[in-house]
Each structure stands twice: as C-alpha cells, then as structure tokens.
Amino acid sequence: MKAIIDEKRIYQLLSETSRPSHERVEDVLATGAEKKGLNSEEVAVLINANDPDQLKKIFDTASWIKQEIYGERLVLFAPLYVSDHCVNDCAYCNFHSTNENHRRRALSQSEVAAETKCLIDMGHKRVLLEFGEDPDRNTIDYICDSIRTIYSVKSGNGNIRRVNINIAATTVENYRRLKKEDIGTYQLFQETYHRETFEAMHKGPKADYERQLTAHDRAREAGLDDMGLGVLFGLYDWHFEVLALVQHADYMEKVLGVGPHTISVPRFRPAPGVAFSPKKYEVSDEDFLKLIAILRIAVPYTGMIISTREAPAVRAKAFQLGISQASAASVTEVGGYVERRQLEPRNAVAQEPRNPGTQEHVSGGQFIGADDRPVDEVINSVLDEGLIPSFCTACYRIGRTGTHFMEIAKPGDIHNFCRPNAILTFAEYLEDYGSAEAKEKGVKLIEHYLAKIDSPKLKEETLIRLAQIRSGKRDLYF
Ligand code: SAM
Ligand code: SF4
C-alpha cells in the first residue's frame, strides 16, 4: 500500500501531545500565523488543546488567516444530483442500494437542462455534480453528456460557468474523459480514513479502502490538477480524521505535486432510509468549529467547503473561521429543483423563506439538510456579516489552477484577482436576481470593498467593468 495514511503515527501523535502547555499551543499558533501551514505534530497539539483560553486563541488565529488569505469573499454554489442509482450500500446514505423504499431516478439530458435552468434562475454560476455509483446506468458517457448539457444551458443573462464533480472513485481512463470536459474541481471524500470503520460502513465496490484512497493519484495521472478531499464527520473520531486529512494533503503536495484545492467538511445528517447514527463519534457544534479552525491554520491555501447540512448559525460562525465556499438553497434529491419550483408560486424560490431544517417537500434526498433558505436570504445574511458573496469562476477559465494557482495564492497575490472578481460577479447577481434588500446592502458593501483595492489602475478597471455590467454586459473578470 502507498504510504498515504499512517494510522499508527496518528495515534502516537495524539497521545504524545495530550494536554499541551499554553506555551506549546502559543508556539504552534505563532508558526500557523506565518501562513505556511503546520506539520502533523503541530496539528495534534491544536487538536488536544481544550482549555477555553487555548480554544479562543485557535479561533482568533484561524479567523485572522482566513481574513489575510481569503479576505471578505465567500464563493457560493449548489449541488446538482443527476442520478441516485447506486450499487453501493453505504450505511449513512439514503441512496444505499438496499434501500428499497427509495424511488430512484436518472435524469434525461432535457431534465438535466431543466434542473440547470432552475439553478441559473436562482443566480447560481457554479454547480457540484453528484451521481451514485452504478457502472451500467451512470456511465462515463452519461456523466460527460450531463456536463456538456449543463454548460450549454442559457437562461436570461445567466449560465453555469463551472462544473465541479463528485463521483465515485474511478479509472485513469475515466478521469481523462472528465478532464476533456473542462471540469472544475474533482472532489472525492474518503468518508473515513480509519480503515476498519471504512470497511464496516461500506459494501460494494466502494468498500475497497485502497481504491478510494488512491483515487486522487489516478485523477492526477489523468492530468487533473484541481482536486478536493473530504471526510464525512460522525463516522469515526474527528481527532483522527483531521490528522489523516492533513497527511493526505501533505502526500498530495509532495508526491502528486499539487495539494488539495479544497477540503469539504460534511457532517452526518439523518435521512429517511438510514438506520446509522453517529453515537460516540457524533461531532458537537463546538468541535466542528474547532476542527474547521484547525484545518484553516494547518492548510491555509486550501479552500474549505461547507454545505447546507449545517444550520445557518453554524455556517455563519464557520465563514469567519475559515470556510471559503458554501452551497446555498441546495436540494439533494434527483430532479429536486424543478420539483421545488413546481410546488411554489413563480419566483418564490428567490423570495419565500421556508422552515430551516425541514426540506419538507424533498423527502427523497440523500440526507435532510439543515439550511433550507433561498439564495437571496443566504446572501442577505452573508452581507450582514460583512462578507461579499462571490460567483467567480475566473481562475480555472484562464488556467490559474493546480500549481499555477498555488504559486499565485501563496504569496497572497490572490487578492489582486479575487476582490475585483467577487465584486463584479456579485454586481451581476444584484442586477439579474437581487431582491431590493440585497441590492441596498450589496451596493454599499461593494463601495466599501472597492475602496480597498490598492492598485489605482485595477480600481479604475473594476469601475469600468461595473459600469459595463450595469449597461448589460456579463461575465467580466480579471
Ligand atoms: N456517490 C459518490 C460517492 O459516494 O463518492 C458521490 C458523492 S455522494 C452523492 C456525496 C457525499 O455525500 C458522500 O461522499 C458522503 O460524504 C455524503 N453523504 C452521504 N450520506 C450523507 C448523510 N446522511 N449525511 C451527510 N452527508 C452524507
Ligand atoms: Fe452511493 Fe455515494 Fe450514497 Fe454511497 S454515498 S450509497 S456511493 S450515492
């Protein structure tokens, strides 16, 4: 087996660093504040720091790093579930193969287009494509056709400009096919890095721990350089998982030549056909925020993604601590966006709040979400926190990916592109989809951050593009 995860070493680090002194924690945080990341031993120290004063310092350092590297931007996206046919029997997922009560669907290309149109009309520009694993039904041809369909749909002034993919571990050949379709990030979650737990939680092809763990190696071999990691928190001890994530990230950087572009932090949520419950490994809100903060300090240049599995209050705190991308107004049911639109009066998707945590009319989803707010409501709360919602897709479209992206991101140059691009894409949103409330708050925040663009030339160029957006031009970026 490749030396990606060293379980023994993880346990050893956790026991060697138990009850760290205040001085040791401060030393580690001082190293973290250099924005060069942390080694595994340093990460273990932070994991074991539980004193309220130590926790506060961890949160403060993470917030500072988030602000320094990512500034005020928060990138928004939504998942698009295309097929829930699945041959795997994952204990935690509503789509598991032995769930006979679940009615399964694989969208036709015209249905994929209809879902895409709904997402565009909500203001989205980025989707995360989701499929169950079913080699006969969810073939690579079907997946590639769906990507092409999504990119082809136009509605009003909008279109989807970046398709990220979350499909099961596959072959180099299939990853080559994805590469040709111009995907954004290839995301695959290990679910749990703990081999024994992994094997107990899965049946079917996904039960092969090695196949899952080495998927990013094969994706890299196929030429993909923009890849995401993740753990499903609640399956095993989060202390272990965070160290394993850091080991995997380190492996990717050293051996594959490019670190993970993103780390996702899904936390288990109940679902109608799922008997599993996290029991002793349940991650509390406080620990969840702590692990996000630790990851922010440990891998500062890797984007971090949160989903609507989390309630609005937890999301708001997580945005300050290190999250750089969030899903908004998601449904996790195949065909769910069209279904939701049919159930609501015209345009209600953008205006009417529903009860958080219910997703009452999308009961066939992968799990029950905890943030059911429409996009505009999410945007309003993001603005209230002083953050700018960004729909930017510039980097991958002009080839700033992989090592090239990291070269720019690391010295902090990312601000030069990201701030104006966030402003421009948010201005587009306000023109085309924004409610009166979002427009009022948004225009003020745009002015505030325009003033912070250091280079006079860049500021002037941004102002010119903003005027062009107001007069109807779209998709302007640096
Ligand atoms: N089917 C592919 C796979 O398993 O790799 C694609 C991803 S699946 C559609 C998306 C992710 O949802 C899974 O990787 C898993 O981490 C997460 N997930 C599944 N069931 C969940 C649940 N009950 N609560 C929270 N997240 C869940
Ligand atoms: Fe299938 Fe993915 Fe759900 Fe597992 S997590 S049952 S592979 S859709």
Per-residue pLDDT reduced to its tens digit, 308-350: 999 999 999 999 999 999 999 999 999 999 999 988 765 444 4
| pLDDT given for residue 73 in this prediction | 95
Among the residue ranges 71-80, 139-148, 361-370, the one predicted with the least confidence is: 361-370
Tell whether ligand 2 has an atom less than 6 A from the beta carbon of residue 95: yes
User: Distance between CA atoms of 416 and 408, rounded to whole angstroms?
Assistant: 10
Structure token digits, residue 338:
């069209």
pLDDT confidence tier of residue 408, bands split at 50, 70 and 90: low
147 versus 364: the higher-pLDDT residue is: 147
- CA 219 from centre of chain: 18
352: pLDDT strictly greater than 70: no
Residue 29: which pLDDT band, with cuts at 50, 70 and 90? very high
Going by alpha carbons, the residue nearest to atom 1 of ligand 1 is: 132
| Structure confidence at residue 418 as a pLDDT band (50, 70, 90) | confident
165: pLDDT strictly greater than 80: yes
Per-residue pLDDT band at 405 (split at 50, 70, 90): low
287-307 b/e with 16+ CB inside 10 Å = b? ebbbbbbbbbbbbbbbbbbbb
Contact 243, 192 (CB under 8 A): no
**What are the residue ranges of CATH 3.20.20.70 in the chain?**
72-384
State in Å: Cα 331 to ligand 2 middle.
16
Cα-Cα-Cα-Cα torsion 135, 136, 139, 141, nearest 10 degrees, comes to: 150
Q: Which residue's alpha carbon is nearest to atom 6 within ligand 2?
A: 96
Which atom of ligand 2 is nearest to 204's Cα?
Answer: 7
- If you average pLDDT over every residue of the chain, what do you get? 93
pLDDT at 361: 36
The share of the chain scoring above pLDDT 90, in percent, equals: 87
Q: What percent of the chain has pLDDT over 70?
A: 93
Instruction: State how far the Cα of 28 lies from the Cα of 58, in Å rounded to an integer.
Output: 10
**Per-residue pLDDT, 414:** 65
The answer for residues whose C-beta is within 8 angstroms of residue 352's C-beta and 6 or more apart is: 344, 345, 374
Ligand 1: which atom is nearest the Cα of residue 81? 9
Q: Which ligand is nearest to the CA of 266?
A: 1
Answer whether CATH 3.20.20.70 is correct for domain 72-384.
yes
> Which atom of ligand 1 is found nearest the CA of 133?
1
322 and 65 in contact (C-beta within 8 Å)? yes
360 vs 201: CA distance, rounded Å: 28
pLDDT band (50, 70, 90) for residue 409: low
CA distance 55 to 3: 32
